[in-house]
Amino acid sequence: MCGIFGYIGPNNVVETTIKGLKKLEYRGYDSSGIAGIHDGKMLYNKQVGKISKMEAEVEQEGLELDIAIAQTRWATHGSPSRENAHPHFNNGQTLALVHNGIIENHSALRDMLLKKGVVFHSETDTEVIVHLISDLYRGDLLKAVMAALPLLKGSYALALIHRDYPDQIIGVSHESPLAVGIGIGEMFLASDLHAFTGSAREVIFLDSGEVAVVKKDGYEIYDSMMSPVSKESRELIGKAEEVTRGKFEHYTLKEIFEQPQALRSALSARCIDEYGTAKFDSLDIEMSELLGVKRIIILACGTSYYAGFIGEYMLEEIARIPTQVEISSEYRYKNPIIPNGTLVIAISQSGETADTLAAFRELKAKGATVIAICNVHDSSIAREADSCLYLRAGIEIGVCSTKAFTSQVAVISLFTLLLARMRHLSRDDGQVFLDQLKKVPDHVDAVLQQADAIQALAKKYAQCENFFYLGRRYMYPGAMEGALKLKEIAYINANGYPAGEMKHGPIALINQDCPTVALTGDQYTYEKILSNLMEVKARQGPVIAIAEEGSEGIEEIADDIIWIPSTRDEFSVIPATVACQLFAYYVALERGTEIDQPRNLAKSVTVE
Ligand code: G6P
């Protein structure tokens, strides 16, 4: 989703800014733009499509800037077009502004500004902000910004520059992240730490409501009352980590293949074999509080929601704690009852998903303890939670989540074990659980070795326009995740369903052109899903099974089978979804869709 980058310093400003902006490409966007000041003039370039298009044009026209702000836009208000791309300008083109988030009262503000004679050039909600600040400007930019902010309703991270202040960028954060990057004699602003890779050495996160005035050799931070705030900077972790695709054609494929390693690192130093339990160094919650947990609410969106769904099954079954997984965007508008002993787990790869952040803030305000499961260090959710259990999967660039999902399931498994061992689970049973969990990376390896066979299968089915993905128990969220992969990167209509529900309606859609991918690895319900698949076969529906080695009876039903190693029901979903990821990837490759940055999608969804 939208990304902001700003630069002021001695290096080539255009190059540095575009380089930083490119690091935000992975978030998903449909247009981009840069604006800056040079020799007292406000100059800019905006383009629809990839940043490289803008880069080529600014190179050709020889754009030079002394200070710059830039943005990647993921369209919300108004289609992707040059007019709607950021930065936006006031009528005199003295002020330029980029924005992440949504201004909810933009219509009222637009009407008010129109009455004052302001001319609008875009359909965006953002444009009202720049005109509003301009309208309030009486020679003191900071004062004008401060006066405008209380009039804005919604979420926003802003970066802005003014011709009268050619040596400063103002940054604002309000329920949308923005960080100040500190270098030597140079300063940066970005909405995502990844943009600082290889540049800034230290970082300061703005808290919601804070405003930063950034100059080449320093910065000042103010609260909403315009009082100066003193904040400590932090050293950037992994600042030198430059990520490349290596030998892989896409980041997505690379990340699929990184899963054995990512899983090992999620488990590393967290297993206590001797006692058959788990530990998390970052879990800063008293054991007595964990022992007192009577109910768990898991909040998440998208792929993380499916990982949470698996967590729901596991926590109830193994730790025997009533657990409910909730889609954050729905949950945030409920008025839930949070009795004492409620633990909230927020799962988010990016740690920035606006809905999950809002839902979890609400529960925190109601007094619940919140544990985050995140991949991105120092992300908003990770920082605001009482404790964060990091995935340690390494940065995930592909918009569709792969290695983060399987790592999420691994971390939830360990957390389940910890809670279960504090309750009734015996040491022996805990040891068996751990032993099996530690074999999962090898099981994933075994699936990856079948990549060629899965590619052949993908070619066979790539022309189908509708798919069902079926599973039962642990495989039900696995089926929904498998279907989501196919939707996201191959743009195919795929429905994930609990197999037992097919007869209540969806089976009407089955015919010879609608294949069913069946995740049959849940042994407890294995016989049941075989019957459900017989019903599909009876209606000429092709069946592709993802079955555990040694499963009997599936060969007679399925048209094609991807074999996965046999393991406990809780963990079988991991190799099964890896098979789904590969299948979706190769179908997408066959159909020629954009895989790493699929159309319309964003990696980090920072708006509602
Ligand atoms: C977007 C991404 C998905 C992701 C979801 C939740 O839709 O494209 O891959 O699962 O957001 O993101 P989170 O960062 O909270 O896990």
The predicted model gives 232-261 an average pLDDT of: 86
565: pLDDT confidence band, cut at 50, 70 and 90? Answer: very high
Q: What is the distance in A from the centroid of ligand 1 to the CA of 351?
A: 9
3-state secondary structure of 368: coil
Q: Which of 475, 469, 443, 474 is nearest to 575 (CA)?
A: 443
Alpha carbons 92 and 99: distance in angstroms, whole number: 19
Token pair for residue 520?
A: 């049959």
Alpha carbons 353 and 607: distance in angstroms, whole number: 8
Per the CB < 8 A criterion, the answer to whether 225 and 49 are in contact is no
3-state secondary structure of 174: strand
198: pLDDT confidence band, cut at 50, 70 and 90? Answer: confident
82: pLDDT confidence band, cut at 50, 70 and 90? Answer: very high
Q: Name the active-site residue from 2, 374, 400, 580.
A: 2
As a whole number, the mean pLDDT across the chain is: 95
In the chain, the percentage of residues whose pLDDT exceeds 70 is 99
DSSP 50: -
pLDDT of amino acid 253 = 98
Q: What is the pLDDT of residues 247-258, one digit of tens each?
A: 999 999 999 999
Alpha carbons 356 and 342: distance in angstroms, whole number: 17
Alpha carbons 393 and 122: distance in angstroms, whole number: 40
* Mutational pocket test of ligand 1: of 194, 255, 301, the residue with most ligand atoms within 8 Å of the beta carbon: 301
240: pLDDT strictly greater than 60: no
Q: Name the active-site residue from 23, 254, 487, 603.
A: 603
Alpha carbons 76 and 90: distance in angstroms, whole number: 21
Token pair for residue 407?
A: 């790592």
238: pLDDT confidence band, cut at 50, 70 and 90? Answer: low
1: pLDDT strictly greater than 80: no
The predicted model gives 356-368 an average pLDDT of: 91
Give me the amino acid identity at 12: N
Q: What is the distance in A from the centroid of ligand 1 to the CA of 197?
A: 22
DSSP 422: T
CATH for 450-600?
Answer: 3.40.50.10490
- List pocket residues of ligand 1, CB cut-off 6 Å: 301-304, 348-350, 353, 356, 399-401, 601, 603, 605
Q: What is the pLDDT of residues 469-495, one digit of tens each?
A: 999 999 999 999 999 999 999 999 999
Alpha carbons 101 and 382: distance in angstroms, whole number: 20
Q: What is the distance in A from the centroid of ligand 1 to the CA of 353?
A: 7
If you write DSSP's letter for every residue of 264-308 in order, what string do you get? Answer: HHHHTT-EETTTTEE--TT--S-HHHHHT--EEEEEE-HHHHHHH
Per the CB < 8 A criterion, the answer to whether 476 and 464 are in contact is no
The predicted model gives 432-449 an average pLDDT of: 98
Protein residue whose Cα sits closest to atom 7 of ligand 1: 302
Per the CB < 8 A criterion, the answer to whether 359 and 332 are in contact is yes
Q: What is the pLDDT of residues 166-195, one digit of tens each?
A: 999 999 999 889 999 999 999 999 998 889
User: Domains of the chain: which residue ranges?
Assistant: 3-235, 250-438, 450-600
Give me the amino acid identity at 268: S
242: pLDDT confidence band, cut at 50, 70 and 90? Answer: low
Protein residue whose Cα sits closest to atom 8 of ligand 1: 603
342: pLDDT strictly greater than 50: yes
161: pLDDT strictly greater than 90: yes
The predicted model gives 558-578 an average pLDDT of: 98
Alpha carbons 233 and 5: distance in angstroms, whole number: 18
Cis peptide preceding 87, ω within 30 of 0: yes
325: pLDDT strictly greater than 80: yes
**259-267 vs 403-421: helix axis angle to the nearest 10?**
30
Protein residue whose Cα sits closest to atom 2 of ligand 1: 603
Q: What is the distance in A from the centroid of ligand 1 to the CA of 601?
A: 9
As a three-state string, the secondary structure of 507-535 is HHHCCCCCCEEEECCCHHHHHHHHHHHHH
Per the CB < 8 A criterion, the answer to whether 33 and 85 are in contact is yes
pLDDT of amino acid 119 = 97
Q: What is the distance in A from the centroid of ligand 1 to the CA of 425?
A: 33
Protein residue whose Cα sits closest to atom 15 of ligand 1: 348
Beta strands in 340-485 (DSSP E): 342-348, 369-374, 387-390, 466-471
In the residue annotation, 2 being an active-site residue is answered as yes
The predicted model gives 103-114 an average pLDDT of: 96
Asked if domains 250-438 and 450-600 share a fold, the reply is: yes
Per the CB < 8 A criterion, the answer to whether 490 and 466 are in contact is no
Alpha carbons 141 and 175: distance in angstroms, whole number: 22
* Mutational pocket test of ligand 1: of 29, 303, 331, the residue with most ligand atoms within 8 Å of the beta carbon: 303
The predicted model gives 431-441 an average pLDDT of: 98
pLDDT of amino acid 64 = 96
pLDDT of amino acid 241 = 55
pLDDT of amino acid 460 = 98
What are residue 389's DSSP bridge partners? 373
**569-591 vs 427-448: helix axis angle to the nearest 10?**
20
3-state secondary structure of 429: helix
* Mutational pocket test of ligand 1: of 360, 380, 605, the residue with most ligand atoms within 8 Å of the beta carbon: 605
Q: What is the distance in A from the centroid of ligand 1 to the CA of 354?
A: 10
Alpha carbons 56 and 110: distance in angstroms, whole number: 34
237: pLDDT confidence band, cut at 50, 70 and 90? Answer: low
Alpha carbons 541 and 495: distance in angstroms, whole number: 14
pLDDT of amino acid 124 = 96
Q: What is the distance in A from the centroid of ligand 1 to the CA of 29?
A: 14
Tell me the backbone φ, ψ of residue 362, rounded to 5 degrees.
-60, -45
CATH 3.60.20.10 fits 3-235, yes or no: yes
In the residue annotation, 503 being an active-site residue is answered as no
Q: What is the pLDDT of residues 364-404, one digit of tens each?
A: 988 899 999 999 988 999 999 999 999 999 999 999 999 99
- Which ligand 1 atom is the nearest neighbour of the CA of 301? 6
* Ranges 20-29, 112-121, 536-545: which has the least confidence: 20-29
Which has the higher per-residue pLDDT, 28 or 41? 41
CATH 3.40.50.10490 fits 250-438, yes or no: yes
239: pLDDT confidence band, cut at 50, 70 and 90? Answer: very low
Phi-psi region of 97 (alpha: psi -120 to 50; beta: other; left: phi over 0): beta
The predicted model gives 267-291 an average pLDDT of: 95
Token pair for residue 446?
A: 């075994």
- Which ligand 1 atom is the nearest neighbour of the CA of 404? 16
